Structure 1
Amino acid sequence: MDITIYQAFLPHDDHEASLAFYRDTLGFEVRNDVEYGGLHWLTVGPAGQPGTSIVLHPPAADPGVTDEERRTITEMMAKGTYASINLATKDLDGTFERLQAGDADVVQEPTQQPWGVRDCALRDPAGNMIRIFEVQ
């Protein structure tokens, strides 16, 4: 089998803040920006990796979600416990400096973890947890 990860989905609740964070702070390319009924779906990804994207979507748009579930999702997003993603870089310290300069919501500075990886953690404007691992 030849299977790759094509897209991952993260919720967002502020199109402009998400665009600024993923484009300007993380340096991702904007691949698609779709508005429908006042809601935005934003597709971003790392330059040079056109086959891997993150789709930032409005969780309120899913017709299968009840009002009670939407409230729960909103509460979890506000706490930063609803969604997460792991990214990787060869230069964790340089990446972390850029994130701090971009006003990122830092949760953990670069740290050597007991399970053998060195990483840092931050939250995007919607509260999604982003861990960035250092790779060789």
Structure 2
Amino acid sequence: MITHVSITSVFVKDIDASKAFYIDVLGFEEHTDITLADGSYRWCTVKHPSQPELEVHLTLPGPPLSPELAETFRRAQDEGGLFGLGLGVDDCRKTYEELRSKGVEFLQEPAERPYGVEAVARDNSGNWLVLVERKEFSPADFT
């Protein structure tokens, strides 16, 4: 029986720069950072202190993906078209201001939605980060 989600992966352009972004800008913590002895592969994960059971794997597009598929992901990164993470926040407008002051690029300022207040940013690899301050809603709120 599945009990929970324990890891999710995000394609990044540079593991060190992304690790610093997730830790220094977003407030995550390092979990694991291991490079195989031959230097052929690096396993790097971060976690948020309020949700330590979920690791975010920061990885480069590459093997075991085919070279063509890895290149497709790199192009999508350059275009800023990859989804990254949905991040729950307690105050979307305040978090928006804090992250903007740290240089985070936003695609969408905080806006009221039927499910709460939402803002959309990009991480330093172009992945979308959707910040949501949730509120109770029902399907009728969408009509």
TM-score range, shorter chain: 0.7 to 0.9
- State the SS of the aligned residue for 1:50: strand
1:37-94 CA distances to partner (integer Å, 9 max, x unpaired)?
A: 265432111113211121111121x22x222112111101111223322110112122
The aligned residue for residue 60 of structure 2 is: 58
Q: Tell me the TM-score normalized by structure 1.
A: 0.86
Determine the C-alpha separation between the residues in 2 that align with 1:57 and 1:27. 19
The aligned residue for residue 77 of structure 1 is: 77
What letter matches 1:59 in structure 2?
Answer: P
Q: Tell me the TM-score normalized by structure 2.
A: 0.82
Q: Runs of 5+ in structure 2 lacking a partner?
A: 136-143
- State the SS of the aligned residue for 2:51: coil
The answer to whether the 8 Å contact 2:115/2:134 transfers is: no
The answer to whether the 8 Å contact 1:11/1:83 transfers is: no
Find the structure with the greater CA-based Rg.
Answer: 2
- State the SS of the aligned residue for 2:96: helix
The aligned residue for residue 124 of structure 1 is: 123
Total equivalences in the alignment: 133
Cα RMSD over matched residues?
Answer: 1.8
- Identity between Structure 1 and Structure 2 (%): 29
The aligned residue for residue 11 of structure 2 is: 11
- State the SS of the aligned residue for 2:52: coil
Determine the C-alpha separation between the residues in 1 that align with 2:44 and 2:106. 23
The answer to whether the 8 Å contact 1:10/1:56 transfers is: yes
Q: Runs of 5+ in structure 1 lacking a partner?
A: none
The aligned residue for residue 33 of structure 1 is: 33
Alignment pair present for 1:43 and 2:26 = no
Determine the C-alpha separation between the residues in 2 that align with 1:106 and 1:32. 28
The answer to whether the 8 Å contact 1:40/1:58 transfers is: no
The answer to whether the 8 Å contact 1:6/1:51 transfers is: yes
